[in-house]
Amino acid sequence: MGRQRKEENSQLPQGVYRNKGRYIYRPYHGRVGKKSIFGNDIVLGPDTMPMSKLYMAVESMEQSTDQTLQWLLIEYRQSKKFRSMGQDWQYTKEGNVI
């Protein structure tokens, strides 16, 4: 069982945290072995926004295009492995992708 959330974050939706005066959403992508995989941090707004708008923003993020082919290609192109390849190889790979 994981640790409990901080008291200041206990009223927030799952995956949302308060950091530096703003709400941040970290999408959960699953586990690989014993390691949890999270997506990039997404800023939802200032910490002064009403909770109702925060919950609506989180619901719209969860209904986004995660786990689709387009999402997979974007994640691959942003990966260290893809960026470490030569420019010529990246161009031929991108030209062959949908």
Are 17 and 24 within 8 A, CB to CB?
A: yes
Band of residue 81 on the pLDDT scale cut at 50, 70, 90: confident
d(CA 85, CA 64): 29
Mean pLDDT, the chain, integer:
80
CA angle 77, 74, 13 (to 5 degrees): 130
71 or 49, which is more confident: 49
Name the residue ranges covered by the structural domains of the chain.
1-64, 65-98
Give per-residue pLDDT as tens, 13-61: 888 888 899 999 988 888 888 888 888 888 999 989 998 998 888 888 7
Give me 49's structure tokens: 């926004």
